[in-house]
């Protein structure tokens, strides 16, 4: 056993050059992850490539587009990494290019056209001598990392493999396999401060704010910000159950195929929000802040999303919907219908400002451990195809991709807030109490 103050023992390895790649939206603490990972490799005589702007440069690789140092990647050294763990932004940039977008089933990997972008990424990395890859990103980037590993699994036995490990990143905190993702608590605190500012404004003007928080798939960010910001009510995708959900049929204009989607029952959701407003009035409070998660846009009835485009990962273009404006308008009208009075409802979108906020100590600690975990997974543990995770007091764990990705669709599984969990109940305890009899629907 090593002495407490001695450096970690050196591990014999054959790695020469590791690449670090960040993809998807920014998150506070990103540079703690990148810096800690790069430093760990460098201290063990492994060169480190910082791939710039996600996969966007790698997928362009070819005879006419070789990778160029300074444009497509940087070579890290200790001087570049000094005092970077607490810095803002992403030192190697990011992008949303998706080389695995045409692969939605394992059989697609046998299709040369579908797998061509993955082949290009592999050849691009090998062209600069990369023999290990650290992928940092959200669930879509995890899907890509898994597909990249699966692509290599099909290569001839004598082909060089690039083992890949993934580090989970999302301020949405909706990852399976880890309790909290780096950047989550910084983002929650940033948004909560904005909510507290809006509360003071709302009280002064006897008005309401309708704050749309980031959180496409689950409500962790909206709930966390509502708890810390003392919001009056929070509504997320997990709350669209029972009478608050409905089914709608739609017809594909191109194929004529009928599909059924789960949507919000706005005739119940909007009156429930207004019930919070009227309950607060009975308490002598003519103001408040209601938080909704942006993921509710996916549950809008067909009439609101018809013609809205989707991105490479199949997500609806939320920015084209202006969910906060839509909800604020519906709430104001419903309040007027019920009470006969006008109440101003200001619409605000929150979240993007938090993505590159100064990281808090916990996120720097968590991010640093994940970065070190990338080195330990690849070099010490000789692992491939795992996500680095932590539990308890930042104890490292390594979760196989197979435990996180559907084997048929190759889609990652979202971690929702569990119904009636203590986390969800905490919010309901703290927000304004509403009795079911107070909800006056449109029936």
Q: Per-residue pLDDT for 383 more than 60?
A: yes
What is the arithmetic mean of pLDDT over 362-368?
97
Q: Beta-carbon neighbour count of residue 393 at 10 Å? A: 6
Longest dimension (CA), the chain: 76
Residue 290 and residue 209 in contact, taking contact as beta carbons nearer than 8 Å: yes
Q: What integer pLDDT is reported at residue 443 of this predicted model? A: 44
Judged on CB neighbours under 10 Å (0-12, 13-18, 19+), 184 is buried
What is the per-residue DSSP string for 157-223? TTSPP--EEEEEB-TT--BTT-SS-BTHHHHHHHHHHHHHHHHHHHHHHT-EEEEEEP-SS-SHHHH
What is the distance between the alpha carbons of residues 38 and 23, in angstroms, rounded to a whole number? Answer: 17
Strands 233-235 and 288-293 turn out to be parallel
What is the distance between the alpha carbons of residues 117 and 58, in angstroms, rounded to a whole number? Answer: 9
pLDDT digits (tens, 9 = 90+) for 154-163: 999 999 999 9
**What is the chain's mean pLDDT, rounded?**
93
pLDDT top residue among 387 and 248 = 387
- The tokens of 20 are what? 């670090």
Please list the helix, strand and coil fractions of the chain in percent, rounded to the nearest 5, in that order: 40, 20, 40
Among 104-113, 121-130, 269-278, 316-325, the range scoring the smallest mean pLDDT is 316-325
Q: Which domains does the chain have, with CATH numbers?
A: 17-181+359-403 (3.40.50.450), 186-353+418-438 (3.40.50.460)
- β-pair partners for 167: 136
- The tokens of 65 are what? 């587009």
Tell which residue, 403, 425, 389, has the closest CA to residue 166.
389
The answer for 70, left when phi > 0, alpha when psi is -120 to 50, beta otherwise, is left
Q: What integer pLDDT is reported at residue 303 of this predicted model? A: 87
Three-state DSSP state, 108: helix
Backbone angles phi, psi at 333, to 5 degrees: -70, -40
In the block, tokens 């059924």 appear at 260
What is the distance between the alpha carbons of residues 308 and 293, in angstroms, rounded to a whole number? Answer: 19
Tell which residue, 206, 335, 341, has the closest CA to residue 271.
335
Strands 164-168 and 132-137 turn out to be parallel
What is the distance between the alpha carbons of residues 152 and 160, in angstroms, rounded to a whole number? Answer: 9
Three-state DSSP state, 342: coil
**CB within 8 Å of 88: residues ≥ 6 apart:** 28, 31, 356, 357, 358, 359
What is the arithmetic mean of pLDDT over 407-427?
93
What is the per-residue DSSP string for 268-306? HHHHHHHHHHHHHHHTT---EEEEEEGGGGGGS-HHHHT
What is the distance between the alpha carbons of residues 372 and 376, in angstroms, rounded to a whole number? Answer: 6
Q: What integer pLDDT is reported at residue 442 of this predicted model? A: 53
What is the arithmetic mean of pLDDT over 211-225?
94
What is the distance between the alpha carbons of residues 178 and 185, in angstroms, rounded to a whole number? Answer: 14
What is the distance between the alpha carbons of residues 78 and 137, in angstroms, rounded to a whole number? Answer: 24
What is the distance between the alpha carbons of residues 101 and 408, in angstroms, rounded to a whole number? Answer: 15
- 2 pLDDT band (50/70/90 cuts)? low
Q: What integer pLDDT is reported at residue 9 of this predicted model? A: 78
Q: What integer pLDDT is reported at residue 195 of this predicted model? A: 97
Judged on CB neighbours under 10 Å (0-12, 13-18, 19+), 325 is middle
What is the distance between the alpha carbons of residues 340 and 324, in angstroms, rounded to a whole number? Answer: 23
Cα dihedral sign, 180-184-189-191: negative
Burial 128-154 (b: 16+ CB within 10 A, else e): bebbbbbbbbbbbbbbbbbbbbbbbee
What is the arithmetic mean of pLDDT over 167-174?
95
Tell which residue, 415, 412, 390, 391, has the closest CA to residue 401.
412
pLDDT digits (tens, 9 = 90+) for 61-99: 999 999 999 999 999 999 999 999 999 999 999 999 999
Q: What integer pLDDT is reported at residue 441 of this predicted model? A: 65
Query: Rounded to the nearest 10 degrees, what angle do helices 422-430 and 220-229 cross at?
Result: 40
Tell which residue, 96, 114, 8, has the closest CA to residue 314.
96
Q: By percentage, how much of the chain surpasses pLDDT 70?
A: 96
Residue 342 and residue 331 in contact, taking contact as beta carbons nearer than 8 Å: no
What is the arithmetic mean of pLDDT over 412-424?
92
What is the distance between the alpha carbons of residues 375 and 390, in angstroms, rounded to a whole number? Answer: 14
Backbone angles phi, psi at 437, to 5 degrees: -70, -15
Q: Per-residue pLDDT for 306 more than 90?
A: no
Tell which residue, 190, 137, 128, has the closest CA to residue 164.
137
- 5 pLDDT band (50/70/90 cuts)? confident
What is the arithmetic mean of pLDDT over 126-132?
97
Q: Per-residue pLDDT for 382 more than 90?
A: yes
Q: By percentage, how much of the chain surpasses pLDDT 90?
A: 84
């Amino acid at each position: 056993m090593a002495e407490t103050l001695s450096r970690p023992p050196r591990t014999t390895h054959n790695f020469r050059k590791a690449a670090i790649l960040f993809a998807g939206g920014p998150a506070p603490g990103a540079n703690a992850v990148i810096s800690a990972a790069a430093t760990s490799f460098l201290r063990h005589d492994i060169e480190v490539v910082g791939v710039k702007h996600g996969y966007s440069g790698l997928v362009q690789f070819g005879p006419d587009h070789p990778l160029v140092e300074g444009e497509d990647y940087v070579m890290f050294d200790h001087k570049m990494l000094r005092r970077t763990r607490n810095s803002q932004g992403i030192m190697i940039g990011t992008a949303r290019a998706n080389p695995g977008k045409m692969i939605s089933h394992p059989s697609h990997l046998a299709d040369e056209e579908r797998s061509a972008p993955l082949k290009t990424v592999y050849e691009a990395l090998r062209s600069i001598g990369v023999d290990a890859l650290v992928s940092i990103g959200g669930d879509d980037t995890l899907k890509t990392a898994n597909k990249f590993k699966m692509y290599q699994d099909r290569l001839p036995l004598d082909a060089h493999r690039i083992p890949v490990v993934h580090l989970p990143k999302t301020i949405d905190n909706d990852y399976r396999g880890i309790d909290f993702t780096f950047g989550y608590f910084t983002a929650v605190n940033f948004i909560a401060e904005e909510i507290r500012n809006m509360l003071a404004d709302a009280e002064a003007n006897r008005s309401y704010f309708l704050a749309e928080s980031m959180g496409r798939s689950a409500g962790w960010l909206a709930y966390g910000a509502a708890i810390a910001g003392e919001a009056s009510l929070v509504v997320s995708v997990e709350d669209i159950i029972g009478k608050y959900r409905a089914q709608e049929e739609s017809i594909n204009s191109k194929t004529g195929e009928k599909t059924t989607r789960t949507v919000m029952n706005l005739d119940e959701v909007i009156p429930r929000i207004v019930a919070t407003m009227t309950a607060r009035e009975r308490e002598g409070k003519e103001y408040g802040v209601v938080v909704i998660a942006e993921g509710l846009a996916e549950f809008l009835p067909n009439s609101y999303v018809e013609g809205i485009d989707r991105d490479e990962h199949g997500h609806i273009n939320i920015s084209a919907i202006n969910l906060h404006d839509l909800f604020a308008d519906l709430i104001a009208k419903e309040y007027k219908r019920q009470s006969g009075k006008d109440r101003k409802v200001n619409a605000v979108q929150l979240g993007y400002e938090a993505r590159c906020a100064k990281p808090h100590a916990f996120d720097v600690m968590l991010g640093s451990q994940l970065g070190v975990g990338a080195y330990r997974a690849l070099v010490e543990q000789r692992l491939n195809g795992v996500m680095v995770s932590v539990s308890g007091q930042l104890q490292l764990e390594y979760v196989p991709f197979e435990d996180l990705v559907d084997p048929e669709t190759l889609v990652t599984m979202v971690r929702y807030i569990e119904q009636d969990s203590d986390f969800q109940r905490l919010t309901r305890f703290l927000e304004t109490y509403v009795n079911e009899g107070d909800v006056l629907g449109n029936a």
